[in-house]
Chain A
Amino acid sequence: MNAPRLALRDVTIDIGGRRIVDLDRLELAAGEVVGLAGESGSGKSMTAQAILGLTRSIGADVRGSIQLDGEELVGMSESKLRGIRGRRIAMIFQSPVSSMNPVFKIGDVFIRALRLHGAGSKREAESRTKDALKEVLLAPDLLERYPSQLSGGQAQRVAIAMALALRSEVLVADEPTSALDVTVQQEILDLLRGVRAETGMSVLFISHDLAVLAELCDRVAVMQRGRIVEMGPARAVLTHPEDAYTKELVAAVPRLGQTEATS
């Protein structure tokens, strides 16, 4: 097996003396989709923020090692980190519409993001933008719209298209489908699957929705109180959980034909 594209080792995150996250090991291979499950406050999002080096601004203390293709991100200077955020590690969020500045047109956001990360000429940025939109099955006239004129599903596609246009290696998706309705959710999952297959992008997919994780992910890690309590192939973890907490989580998913949760 090749060296992992993204590797977290012994990562701890403290805020005000309290340990929020204590991960011993989490790795993403190239083209792999890893799910991160767990209840609210279990440290999923904090882990995502730490990967992008965004935890500093909230006064969190991150220790350990987070490596992207062997390059250490913990302790990297802010200006070098900015070159990695968005460019090599992209992130998409729970509420796609409010994750975009309401005063800019989609097209402006794209062109600026591309040029910020060195896409060269304006023309090149434009053509890459159009290609990326085509890949997520959106019409190019969307570029003339403001974020508030997009539906949730469209906006999330735009966010994914941005990662594609920048040719990011890793996509950190923090609950990207939780705010979308079920049919749109399905479209986004299909899209992510397609993107992974075509570009070999690695995806860290954070969700509390086990059904979604089971459908999309190669491997799943379950977090509780900042620790990974169980990790393994998605199917194995979600159908035959070993850890007591995972069992509870899986049992809490309502199933058809079941009147009461039995645990």
Chain B
Amino acid sequence: MSDGADVLTTVVAESVFGAIRRGLRENRLLAIGLLMALAIVVVGLLAPVLAPSAPDATHPLQTLRAPSSAHWFGTDQLGRDLYSRVLFGTRISPVVAFLVLAISCGVGIPLGIVAGYYGGLVDEVIMRITDVFLAFPALLLALALAAVLPASLGSVTLAVSVTWWPWYTRLVRGQAASVSGRPFVEGAKASGVSDLRILLRHVLPNSLTPLVVQVSLDVSAVILTVSALSFLGLGAQDPTPEWGLMVSQGQLYFPGQWWLVTFPGLAIVMTAVAFNLLGDGLRDVLDPRRVVTTR
């Protein structure tokens, strides 16, 4: 099964990326979402170049300055340049979101596919376990976990992942179960293909489309959750320029110094909007009915 991984990537590349390329031409919102997402990545990569000062450089004589030509987004209670901090924040929330989604997919997809394909007892056991995790409200479970673990970004990543994967298992399981009943799976069995190969080459690629959409929509949800946990003091700790943490610290000064909350808040909103547009666009483009008519 050594060729499993590269086979998968080519499969997705052929079926999904072709549709996306078509969609970018026809669907403006998808194009905008993709551009915004790319911009976020570029800003994250170039943060040290773009930022006028270090995100944690304090200037005791320049605290709580309003936005000006010297400090575009103003300064905070320690005199740190807010613009630099927001830029560097691009390296944190989206990265945490990526990690959470990668862990969730890594756990959720294999379990879902196995449950959907084999059915019966295997399905029953896997799905009851996911039910247990789904029984708790996600934010509450993440809160409880983050409270037990030492307050850090790593803990938050882990806590959110634990609440996230069961959704993917469910989604993939439903798809995999319906794909497993389709004639080509029977055909593959009748041609002497092994179970593992059927799972990887036949069930998996045909179950992924709704997941691709869900994951891109979830980027914003994860960023908001991570920010919420940081806001509550359970995630990133000062001086990490995490957006949620910045909003949380800024709210003390909100009546007088509106910029402390507004700019990191806007960054969160922009990121959420970018990935929402991307996810919505992907859903339209990858709609199975559409794929059939355009092929």
Interface residues of chain A, those whose CB is within 8 Å of chain B, are 52, 54, 57, 79, 81-87, 90-91, 93-95, 98-104, 113, 116-117, 146, 148-149, 162
Known contacts A93-B187, A148-B292, A148-B295; is-contact A101 B201 (Cβ 8 Å): yes
B192 interface residue (CB < 8 Å to A): yes
**B132 interfacial contact with A, CB 8 Å:** no
Query: Can you give 12 A-B contacts (C-beta < 8 A)?
Result: A52-B190, A57-B189, A85-B191, A91-B191, A95-B183, A98-B183, A99-B186, A99-B187, A101-B201, A102-B184, A103-B15, A149-B295
Q: Which of B11, B192, B295 contacts A85 (CB 8 A)?
A: B192
Chain B 108-125 near chain A by CB (<8 Å), digits 1 or 0: 000000000000000000
A-B pairs with lowest CB-CB distance, top 8: A86-B191, A85-B192, A86-B192, A99-B187, A91-B190, A82-B192, A99-B183, A98-B183
Q: How far is the CB of A46 from chain B (nearest CB, A)?
A: 13
Residues of A within 8 A of B190 (CB): 52, 54, 85-86, 90-91, 93
Give chain B residues whose Cβ lies under 8 Å from the Cβ of A54. 186, 189-190
Residue positions of B touching A, CB distance < 8 A: 11, 14-15, 182-184, 186-194, 201-202, 205-206, 292, 295
A98 and B184: CB pair below 8 A? yes
Check if B184 sits within 8 Å of A100, measured CB to CB.
Answer: yes
CB neighbours of A94 from chain B (8 A): 183
Beyond known contacts A86-B191, A102-B206: 8 more, CB 8 A cutoff: A79-B194, A90-B190, A93-B190, A98-B182, A99-B186, A99-B187, A100-B184, A116-B192
Contact B193 A82 (CB under 8 A): yes
Q: Which of B192, B193, B201 gathers the greatest number of chain A CB atoms within 10 Å?
A: B192
A218 to chain B, nearest CB (A): 24
A94 to B186 CA separation, bound complex (whole angstroms): 12
List residues of chain A with CB within 8 A of the CB of B186: 54, 93, 99
Residue of B nearest to A101 (CB): B184
Q: Known contacts being A146-B295, A148-B295, A149-B295, is A99 close to B184, with CB within 8 Å?
A: yes
C-alpha spacing A91/B184, complex, angstroms:
12
Cβ contacts under 8 Å, B205 to chain A: 101, 103
Indicate if the CB atoms of B206 and A101 lie closer than 8 Å.
Answer: yes
Please name all residues of chain A whose beta carbon is closer than 8 Å to the beta carbon of B206 when the two chains form the complex.
101-103
Q: CA–CA, A148 to B194, complex, Å?
A: 24
**B194 and A101: CB pair below 8 A?**
no
Partner of A93 from the list B183, B193, B201, B295 (CB cut-off 8 Å) is: B183
CB of B137, distance to nearest CB on chain A (Å): 37
Which single residue of chain A is at the shortest CB-CB distance from B206? A103
A residues near B292, Cβ cutoff 8 Å: 148
Shortest A204–chain B CB gap in Å is 13
Chain A residues near B202 (CB-CB < 8 A)? 101
| Interface-centre pick from B183, B190, B205, B295 (highest chain A CB count, 10 A) | B190
| Bound CA–CA A95/B292 (angstroms) | 17
Question: B187–A85 contact, CB under 8 A?
Answer: no
Q: Is the CB of B201 within 8 A of A85?
A: no
Contact (Cβ within 8 A) A117 B182: no
Residues on B with beta carbons closer than 8 Å to the beta carbon of A57: 189
Q: How far is the CA of A101 from the CA of B198 in the complex (A)?
A: 10
Residues of chain A within 8 A of B193, CB atoms compared: 82, 86, 116
Kindly state the separation between the CA atoms of A83 and B193 in the bound complex, as whole angstroms: 9
